[in-house]
Structure 1
Amino acid sequence: MYDAVVVGLGGVGSFALRALAKGGARSLGIERFSKGHTWGSSHGKTRIYRRAYYEHPSYVPWIEYSIQQFQQLENYCGDSLMQECGTLLMAPGNVDGSLPPRLQASYDSAEKYGIPVEFMSNSNLRNRFPQFNFDDTTSNHPLVGLYEPGGGILRPELIIDAALKEAEQHSQTSIREETTVVSYEELESYVEILLRSGDGENEAIQTKALLISAGGWAGQLLPSWSPHLRVLRQLSAWIDVSSATDPNLYSYKNMPTWVMDTPAWPFPLYGLPCDSDDHGHKHWLKVGVHGREDVLQDASNNPIHVSGLELEEMVSASLLSYNQSLLGAQGTLFKMVLPCLYTMTPDSNYLIGPLRENSRVFAVAGLSGHGFKMTPALGAMMADFALGKNLDAWHFEFCSPERFRFMHM
């Protein structure tokens, strides 16, 4: 019998398995695809990390913990897994001079936790960051910014690979790829799980704790949580800036990660600078859309290729985001466009906790497009549950499914 079985080995699951291994547990990781796949939510070459958190200030301690774990993982594997380059939030300024909502919420988190941030007027933005398009003719309110110098880049594929390798260094940790969970049943002292391998063979196993971090597939395994989860198809694109006026402008040495609100687009845009350490793609500039209402009834029905309309959408996103006079003709010629899954909750805060009181099943779901930076903390919560540790110090009450208890009655 296993001490714990982790279902889903993306960002959260890989760190849960790592924490279980460090805790001496006999554990098994289950992945329906192969390790490091691009079908879910834990890929994309680079991801943003930031501490001044507008979604909810209670996330900040989890981010701080996670950054420490990323750094420890770097020491283990010897690779560069993160890069500080700053994070810039931009939104149309208010007439009365007050901060726009996203910037104000970030500023409040920064004030509470002593995180350095800098307000930037439109003229400051233009002078310091000419890479961006500040000529939005649809708004009478020029963009203003909040700059966090301590933000930066995470490298998700490298991170997951390193976390799983460290977990597998422990003799009591094993991983099964191309394996799905058919069903599970909680019994008095354990959970029985029916697995199906890629060749169609079924096998029943037992575990003291079942930890579910299945991303877009979580709703299929968590029927009581499913009404609170929606899977949305998002898009990211990469522009080759090697022929730009000054390609070095787009390196992380000269450009921050960023999130932009603009009246010209129905939801936020975001992007990341070129990762100069990724030698095969060191001139690839990223742009993404955050919050597209493209609902998938089944996460498995997510085409890996993008349609013509989706490509046009990403061209528009690039034109709105970046200063095309500096990019030239390359500004709308993409080297790659990839889909990514967001599993959303109604309020965009996570779902975390046991399925019910005294349950042996603990899940993390609904990361709502802002979860990768906190995967070490979320994985540690899952491992602590399986290892019988007190979870009070994590303070995840605001992510409890109980907040939606009466929503669908």
Structure 2
Amino acid sequence: MSRTDYDVVVVGVGGMGSATLYHLARRGARVCGVEQFTPGHPLGSSHGETRIIRKAYFEHPDYLPLLERAYQLWREWETESGERLFVENGLLLAGEENSEVIRGLEACYAAHDLPHERLSGRDAKSRFPQFSIPDDFVAYYDPVAGFLYVERCVLQLVRLARAAGAEIFTGEKVVRWSSVKNGLHVRTTRKEIRTKKLIITAGAWSTELLKRLHLPLEVWRKVVLWYDSPNISDYRLGVFPTFYVETEAGGFYGFPAVDELGVKIGEHVQARLTEPERIARELLPGDEDPTRRFIEQTFPGFQPKRTRFSVCMYTMTPDHNFVIDSCPGEPDVLFAAGFSGHGFKFAPVVGEVLADLALTRATGHPVAFLGLDRLRGQP
């Protein structure tokens, strides 16, 4: 086996890892990424064509400063890459007045001066006649939201990181890491690497690599589905918004038809526990039933014909907020995990935070609320 020396090794080259590699390489660090598959692969959490990006943040108002920086960087990277990465087509969010999504949005808008419109269920139906939203629902429209082309984002970040000097080893899995005098050893299935700093952004595989931390993470199996309809022109980009609707049956999100596959819809909050090495990647009995019922209730004019499905994973923390920190007793080992189904949009700023911490041990970004200490003692 050969040994190669680096300033930083990044394990996992999905959304977070590719962004981290970019920032480190642009700052002149000698950096490599180790990816067990290939960038843009469909086996983790950074795939499926599109991801929502929004400032209407009901999960926690402290995400807003991070979102502002993420928006800025996505726009910069779109220009730098020459590819369209970000489509700003607006987002409709709806739920009962006392629902988690509406209460969270109102807290967010009270804390931050953000463009938005508050609509009654009836107003939302008038504005977007494709939807059948109960009259007693409340809706918010976020005009600066939209979606990211997820695989395109990862592949362009990998290209830009390589152009800045990063090396990326693919088809190579990290099997263990250990501290040694003046650094760390990272053993992969092909070689041993010596590094000063280690950053783990391995998604659902993070728990295995951070076993000593006993992180209270769960991996959820999630299914997203694409549908065509005879009236698909009413649901295409330009006339139909990105959306999130919270119902008694769960929270459902979706995207306009951007290609021949049609509208993409997923269920966000229901848990089906799995493990990354054992996940069922086929469509199981019952997988589609909640989405079919949601379509029937919410889009009565839509006649769904499934064109595609995809299985992905959410890596969940108990409070559904991310965890970004160093390993206790191992200040040169950093990690970002538990993105809980809403993390991809933050990849540019998460990568910047991790690069800051690796190179200077500090960051100017407000990420203290995402620290590890809050999860201590969680089951």
TM-score over 0.5 (shorter chain): yes
The Cα shift of 1:292 comes to 2.4
Of residues 303, 322, 327 in structure 1, which corresponds to 2:280? 303
Aligned to 2:205: 217
C-alpha distance after superposition, 1:320-339 (max 9, x if no partner): 33x232x23xx2x2100111
- Cα displacement (A) at 1:257: 1.2
Task: Specify which of 367, 376, 379 is matched with residue 405 of structure 1.
Answer: 376
- Residue 357 of structure 1, CA deviation: 4.7
- 1:250 equivalent in structure 2: 235
* Runs ≥4 residues deviating over 6 A: none
1:38 maps to what in 2? 42
Taking the aligned partners of 2:142 and 2:224, their CA distance within structure 1 comes to: 23
Q: Which residue of 2 aligns with 1:268?
A: 251
CA contact (8 A) 2:13 2:33 kept: yes
Larger CA deviation: 353-362 vs 375-384: 353-362
CA distance in structure 2 between the partners assigned to 1:358 and 1:238 by the alignment: 44
| Number of matched pairs | 375
Q: Deviation string for 1:94-122 (max 9, x for gaps)?
A: 5xxxxx43223223323322111111001
- Equivalent residue letter for 1:120: L
| Other-structure match for 1:317 | 294
**SS of equivalent residue, structure 2 residue 106:** helix
Correspondence for 1:361: 333
CA contact (8 A) 2:226 2:261 kept: no
Cross-structure match for 1:138: none
**Counterpart position of 2:220:** 232
* Matching residue of 1:339: 311
Task: Quickly say closer, same or farther: Cα 1:61–1:282, change in 2 above 3 A.
Answer: farther
Aligned-pair CA distance for 1:93: 3.1
Q: Distance in 2 between matches of 1:170 and 1:151?
A: 30
- Pairwise CA distance, 1:174: 0.6
Q: In structure 2, what is the equivalent of residue 128 of structure 1?
A: 127
Cα-to-partner distance string for 1:44-92 (whole Å, 9 max, x where unaligned): 1111111121111111111111111111111122111111111111102
Measured after TM superposition, the shift of residue 283 of structure 1 is: 5.7
Name the CA shift for 1:72/1:125 in 2 (closer, same or farther; >3 Å): same
Question: Whole-Å Cα distance in 2 between the matches of residues 112 and 188 of structure 1?
Answer: 47
**Residue 148 (structure 1) aligned to one of 142, 146, 152:** 142
1:282 CA drift (Å): 4.6
Amino acid at match of 1:344: M
Q: CA deviation at 1:205?
A: 1.0
C-alpha contact 1:289 1:317 (8 A) present in aligned 2: no
SS at match of 2:307: strand
Cα distance in 2 for residues equivalent to 1:259 and 1:225: 34
Name the residue aligned to 1:200: none
Shift of 1:142: 2.7
Q: Is the 8 A contact 1:51 1:110 kept in 2?
A: no
Give the match's secondary structure for 2:360: coil
State the secondary structure of the residue aligned to 1:182: strand
Q: Distance in 2 between matches of 1:306 and 1:283?
A: 17
Q: Deviations over 1:383-403 (max 9, x none)?
A: 112222522x22211111111
Q: Percent identity?
A: 31
Q: Distance in 1 between matches of 2:378 and 2:155?
A: 39
> Are the aligned partners of 2:65 and 2:366 in contact in 1 as well (CA < 8 Å)?
no
Matching residue's letter, 1:208: K
RMSD of aligned Cα (Å): 1.6
Q: TM-score, normalised by structure 1?
A: 0.88
Who is 1:167 aligned against?
161
Contact 2:89 2:144 in 1 (8 A): yes
User: Which AA in structure 1 matches 2:87?
Assistant: Q
Tell me the amino acid that sits aligned with residue 363 of structure 1.
Answer: F
Distance in 2, Cα, partners of 1:356 & 1:179? 27
Q: Aligned AA for 1:352?
A: I
> Which SS does the other structure have where 1:309 is aligned?
coil
2:347 alignment partner, one of 375, 384, 392: 375
Please state which structure has a larger fraction of its residues in strand: 2
Q: How does 1:379-394 map to 2 (within 5 A)?
A: 379-388=351-360, 390-391=362-363, 393-394=364-365
Q: Which residue number corresponds to residue 194 of structure 2?
A: 206
SS in 1 for 2:39: coil
- The letter of the residue matching 1:262 is T
Distance across 2 between alignment mates of 1:357 and 1:112? 36
Distance across 1 between alignment mates of 2:125 and 2:294: 19
Pairing of 1:15-26 with structure 2 (within 5 A): 15-26=19-30
Structure 1 residue 358 displacement after superposition: 5.3
SS of 1:209 mapped into structure 2:
strand
Matched, 1:53 2:52: no
The one-letter amino acid of 2:300's match is Q
Gaps of 5+ in 2: none
State the 1:220 CA deviation: 0.2
1:21, 1:208 → 2: CA distance?
15
Q: Give the Cα separation in 1 of the matches to 2:283 and 2:328.
A: 40
Asked whether the 8 Å contact 1:220–1:226 carries over to 2, the reply is: no
The CA deviation at 1:372 is 0.5
